[in-house]
Amino acid sequence: MIRLAIASLANRKASAWLTILAIAVSTLLLLGVERVRTQTQENFANTISGTDLIVGARTGSTQLLLSSVFHIGAMNNSLSWQSYEYLQQLPGVAWHIPMALGDSFASYPVVGTTPAFFEYFQYGNRERFQLSAGTAFTDAQQEAVVVGAEVARRLDLNVGDELTIAHGSGGISFSEHDAHPFIVQGILAPTATPADQALYVPLAGLGLVHGEIMASKHDDHDQKHEHAHEQPVYTLSAVLLGLSNKPLALRLQRQINTYEGEPLTAIMPGLALTELWRTLNLFEKALFAVSALVVATGLLGMLTTLLASLRERRREMAVLRSIGAGPFTIFGLLVSEAFLLAIAGVTLGIGLLFIILAVGSDWLLVNTGMLLRATPLTTTEFLFAGAVLVAAILLSFIPAWRAYRNALADGLTIRL
């Protein structure tokens, strides 16, 4: 039966290939959307790990998460240095990372922070940042900058290069701080996280650029330097906290959210990510619905092709029945043809998906920031591919049933 179906399709190569291509494109879109959804969610989850609380000025949890970790959007308010000192003194705080945002370089965000960022911040499976060149800055190095891997690659930056940051973020710069240039001291190894697309400068250097360093009333230079070290900036955008005792997170979150010094918001990154994906759930469903409709269109194209070919193949069917082929043989032939078209289209679609991921993953990362890997098909993707095959077989029952009911005389009758 399969050999007969192959021979039959070979006589209709053009329509068969068009049907295979339509199913392939449909499968490619369906599996591609699923892969983008799952791997994007996985990449978001891998962006930060080991951080128990993120604290910022009073705002929504999603906005605080996106601005502080993913550098998406901007913080409308800031928290004071006094509040940062209060956070350091909370019981159970093992480490703290202050972050000051709002500046950029060539549309890439600039993050003011301390050496604790490179020591304690973790991503993925508790991985810490590594440098592919140079070293991280220290508190005393006010003019140093550590550059993300993607920024260094796209802007061709190397250790020792000089750059000038500008006030403003999101590609909008209001003024350049050309009076205080920074020197590239280190380049981060690729992480496939937003850290690849950011630059990191010391808080003291950022305060110097903005004229925020607090000077002592005394003229002694050492006293000035000591005070500048204690309070390098007036305000911060967010503070990342790591706790020595994880169960303390809920109690500290409540304590920070009710802090009387100024309105603060403390969020748990994991819960905030879950809330974010709930917000995006509607868009995921809409995207999946579009891809499912495209698959349906491809399968309906196959059905249309098979139905249209029945008119031309009535005599063929009648000849097959006249030489002994039973009605179930005719039925099986049509179903076999649909199965072969579907399995060829699904296989081609999967092959195209892996070719695109293997060849275009770097391009996607550079131009869209999405990291998509050519990993083996997941169980869900296998189920989707199987669903396409099952749907194709079920749809083929329609032309197969019509061929089954065609009378032998109908095919042999000469019509003028």
Distance CA 278, CA 300 (A): 33
What is the length of the chain? 416
Residue 332 near residue 8 (C-beta atoms within 8 A): no
State yes or no: pLDDT of 42 exceeds 60: yes
Helix orientation angle between 13-46 and 327-368, rounded to the nearest 10 degrees: 40
* pLDDT tens digits for range 82-101: 999 999 999 999 999 999 99
Residue 166 one-letter amino acid: A
- pTM value? 0.70
- pLDDT digits 0-9 by tens, 256-288: 999 998 999 999 998 888 888 877 778 878 888
Structure tokens at 249: 């997170």
pLDDT of residue 292: 84
Domain boundaries, the chain: 2-44+280-412, 53-267
Residue 247's contacts (CB-CB under 8 Å, 6 or more residues apart) are: none
For residue 265, what pLDDT is reported? 93
Helix/strand/coil for 9: helix
For residue 304, pLDDT over 60 is answered with: yes
